[in-house]
Amino acid sequence: MNQSQNSQIFSDALQVPTCDTVTIGVIGLGYVGLPLAAAFGKKIRTIGFDTNNRRIEQLTSGIDITDELDPDDFEEAEKLLFSSSESDLHECDVFIVAVPTPITKSRTPDLQPLLAASEVVGRCIKRGGIVIYESTVYPGATEEDCIPVVERVSGLRYNVDFFAGYSPERINPGDKDRPINKIVKVTSGSTPEVTDFVDDLYRQIIDAGTFKASSIRVAEAAKIIENTQRDVNIALVNELSIVFANLGIDTNEVLDAAATKWNFIRLRPGLVGGHCIGVDPYYLVHKSISTGFIPDIIRTAREINDGMARNAVVRLVTLMVGRNFPVNGARVLVVGLTFKENCPDTRNTKVIELVSHLRQWGMEPDVVDTWADPRDVRKKYGMTIGEVLPEGGQVYDAVILAVPHSDIVAQGAGRLRNLLRPGGVLFDMKAAFDIADSDLRL
């Protein structure tokens, strides 16, 4: 079928859709899907769908445990309906898939959430429908892995009976200065007409503008290298921190000096977790290896960043031994569990590995986080955490500031030092305080 025939079918099937006539279904209401659904729900009839009934009940009551939406956002999204019933999705003309794309224990792509969402789309999509994927994947996943599922379940033909687009998510959890409408959106579609439609659709909610990619594969690749590039850059800084630690030089002082040059990329060493930077490069590595090429820089960067929790504990142990502190049985307070500061998200947090390495050395770690949901932590990791800093008492041999939430940092280094035994170690992993206030920094 040639493109002109394809375009005619598209026009006939959709009857030249406009944003005023379509109903959008957003599948997956996490950190990505919820802000997206709320943004569309302010202008276009939108159904926010999630299989988690408790999540739907909370959102219907105006409660967002991810802290991405404010009460005003719920009120302004007058055209948004929250639902866990697939039957409501049958009303939709456009489906936007925003589900997680995690990795397995062997660090390979886990497409099950994405494929399950594609089955939902297949059961609900009708002739002329459009499915847009936002989940981060390797180039080709949309059309090679997801679309065949939609075809199989729906009985419809791709680019004949239904169409697809890809617009990668660019949500930065916890970043109130860069909400969804202020971040440029990359758009793409399976035909030129679909590309225009997808781009027009997102322009309704994105004040920063959009960028049309030439194909779905290009848009997929653009997204995955955003996080891969950042992962590689952080790996360089993390490796430098190991080098400088061996030389007895504070890495952060070196970075402060180097950053005085205009073209120096300023990053800090630290743990690299979360659902993006710590995961997405594995998708690209997997796809590259399937073509016969092993991407050494990307793979090595992942190894360096994945090893930083172990390296941090070794540095702590070395300093404690140097101070004649017994390591076995030492009490350690780990402050912060989420994968980044000022965010309640604990997915793929490397602090869990930090705690595990402490225990392997015979230490007894307590964990406190002022942002994380203790119930969620117990469910995910089987760990009990505190919600506030202990009141005082010199009971800890070491305090590790692993995640510098602003409310913790605002209390000052002295607040953490008051929890230490005389001679105890304050390990400021992200250099939140001056070097004079800390005993150890990455």
C-alpha 187/C-alpha 165 separation (Å) is 7
Please report, as a single letter, which amino acid is at residue 244. Answer: F
List active site positions.
Answer: 276
C-alpha 16/C-alpha 197 separation (Å) is 9
CB 43 within 8 A of CB 205: yes
Element containing residue 235 per DSSP (H, E): helix 216-247
C-alpha 27/C-alpha 55 separation (Å) is 13
Instruction: State the first-to-last Cα distance of the chain, in angstroms, to the nearest integer.
Output: 59
C-alpha 92/C-alpha 210 separation (Å) is 23
C-alpha 87/C-alpha 108 separation (Å) is 33
Residues 6+ positions from 426 with CB-CB distance below 8 Å: 398, 399, 401, 413, 416, 417, 420, 437, 438, 439, 440
Q: What is the dihedral of CA 264, 265, 266, 272, to 10 degrees?
A: -150
Please report, as a single letter, which amino acid is at residue 262. Answer: W
C-alpha 55/C-alpha 53 separation (Å) is 5
Structure tokens at 7: 């375009």
C-alpha 27/C-alpha 48 separation (Å) is 6
Per-residue three-class SS string for 24-65: EEEECCCCCHHHHHHHHHCCCCEEEECCCHHHHHHHHCCCCC
Q: How far from chain centre, in Å, is Cα 318? A: 33
The Cα-based distances of 423 to 322, 367, 394, 415, 419 in angstroms read: 11, 21, 10, 15, 11
